[in-house]
Amino acid sequence: MTRNTRTSISAVNLSRRQLLGIGGGIAAGIGLAACGAGGTASGGGASGGSGKPGTLRIWANSAVAGEADSGLKRAAKAFGEAKGLTVQVEGIPTADLVSKLTTAVSGGSGPDIAIVDSSAVPQLASAKVLTDVSDLTGSVSGDFHAGALEYSTFGGKQFGLPYYTNNVGLFYNKAMLADAGVAVPTTWDDLRSASIELTGGDQYGYMMGPAGYGAFLFWPWLWQNGGQIVSGDATKAVFDDAKGLEAFEAYANLALKDGVAPPDFLAATGGWDPYVAPFAQERVAMMAIGPWGQNAITQNNPDLDWGVAPLPQGTEKATILGGATISLAGNATAPDEAWEFMEWVTAGEQMEYIQASGNIPGRKDVIDSAWATEDPVRQVFVEQMEFARARPALPIWGDIEWGVFANAWDSVIQGQASPADALHSAAQQATEKLSS
């Protein structure tokens, strides 16, 4: 962003208190009508992305964008009404968001704001899909959890603000476990035996994910067994060493040998909702997912009695650090208004909107607040932050996780390759990408 743009942003910013007053109680979210399907708020003023004059455009994955009454769409409506703008929120499937953003911005279009998985920041930043906002974040950087803020950086530069943070826990159906006399598993052995015990007829013990979803959910197994994804200098993939192979075979054999996952898990490629569906339908007793899985359960089976526990551990505790970064898109044509929204929606007064997603805002005052522990489900994820680990901050990470490793995992669960052969092949391909 140019110095002139920065000056303009400083000149037009309303204070948080002024904006709250104009918005009529925005922080509490009281009396806000649900947005329309497009997530818009009427008005005029700025010009945004490839949209119409007076429009600020936001792209996010479908889970973050949500339905018409989602937190993000209500925030967009409130901000738009306060500023006299139309704020559009477009939800895009997780697997398509990075490629669609890259194509759009490189072609001269795209949104003003992108809310992306924080693990994709290095890839998008290096491709200039996101804008370096380091000069703008100094006044607010101290508001955020250090780990969450770092997860939004690349090459020592800040490419957005933490929108939320999360990790993965074990969701379980209380009634199914109780009826079978099965305790909530705390170790790999417990998980395997419980999953087998809970499998029979049309019921299955444990949900698994295909493609990149399966790859994403494997990393905690690797770390829990003492393995690593890449070497210390990030020049070689090392997830296929003895520890990695042991973890991968234990993970894969739940599906291959124990048959504890429903056969239709192979087709759950359209996002997290298809992954959650068998659990919500009470066909599967347990699944590993983050707090974003709650909304799909509530929408599809609000009476389901479920709980969340820490991930069953191997030789050590580990879960995967997730989160989203709210970023200024590289081709934004309303950068002033976009930054103002970014700063506003991540301020303490607006946390209700982010909390509504089921995730944990990245602000220190929220993570350390009573809100973080007043709900037992939320408390599990907050406590797991202590041993949550981030994936490598590499521009080619998406190619490794959603390409190389996703394909290797699919080849295993489709019976095309053994776990050992697939893992070694994936490591060779990943190393080639790291060294190219």
Mean local confidence (pLDDT), 389-400: 92
Predicted confidence (pLDDT) per residue in 252-262, tens digit? 999 999 999 99
Phi-psi region of 89 (alpha: psi -120 to 50; beta: other; left: phi over 0): beta
Outline where DSSP puts E strands in 242-381: 284-289, 306-309, 319-320, 322-328
- Report pTM: 0.78
Q: From residue 353, how far is each of 18, 112, 157, 317, 374 by CA, in Å?
A: 19, 20, 27, 31, 18
Beta partners for residue 286, in sequence order: 172, 206
Q: How confident is the model at residue 4 (pLDDT cuts 50, 70, 90)?
A: very low
Predicted confidence (pLDDT) per residue in 82-137, tens digit? 999 999 999 998 889 999 999 999 999 999 999 999 999 999 999 999 999 999 99
Mean local confidence (pLDDT), 315-341: 95
In single-letter form, the type of residue at position 346 comes to T
Which strands sit side by side in the sheet containing 161-166, from one edge to the other? 86-92, 55-61, 113-117, 322-328, 161-166
Predicted confidence (pLDDT) per residue in 155-206, tens digit? 999 999 999 999 999 999 999 999 999 999 999 999 999 999 999 999 999 9
Q: What is the mean pLDDT of the chain?
A: 87
Mean local confidence (pLDDT), 327-332: 95
Write down the pLDDT at residue 271. Answer: 84
Write down the pLDDT at residue 145. Answer: 85
What is the C-alpha separation between 114 and 135, in angstroms, rounded? 19
What is the C-alpha separation between 195 and 288, in angstroms, rounded? 12
User: Quick one: angle between helices 406-413 and 242-256, nearest 10?
Assistant: 50
Predicted confidence (pLDDT) per residue in 21-62, tens digit? 323 222 222 222 223 223 333 333 333 344 455 899 999 999
Of the two residues 222 and 148, the one the predictor is more confident about is 222
Q: From residue 158, how far is each of 17, 47, 150, 263, 339 by CA, in Å?
A: 26, 25, 8, 43, 13
Positive or negative torsion for Cα 87, 126, 237, 226: negative
Indicate if the pLDDT at residue 10 is higher than 80: no
Phi, psi (degrees; rounded to nearest 5) at 285: -85, -30
Write down the pLDDT at residue 231. Answer: 97
The encoded tokens of residue 77 equal 């409506």
Write down the pLDDT at residue 359. Answer: 86
What is the C-alpha separation between 210 and 31, in angstroms, rounded? 41
Taking Cα atoms as reference points, which of 167, 160, 172 lies closest to residue 359? 167
Write down the pLDDT at residue 40. Answer: 34
The encoded tokens of residue 30 equal 């009281």
What is the C-alpha separation between 35 and 41, in angstroms, rounded? 7
Mean local confidence (pLDDT), 285-307: 94
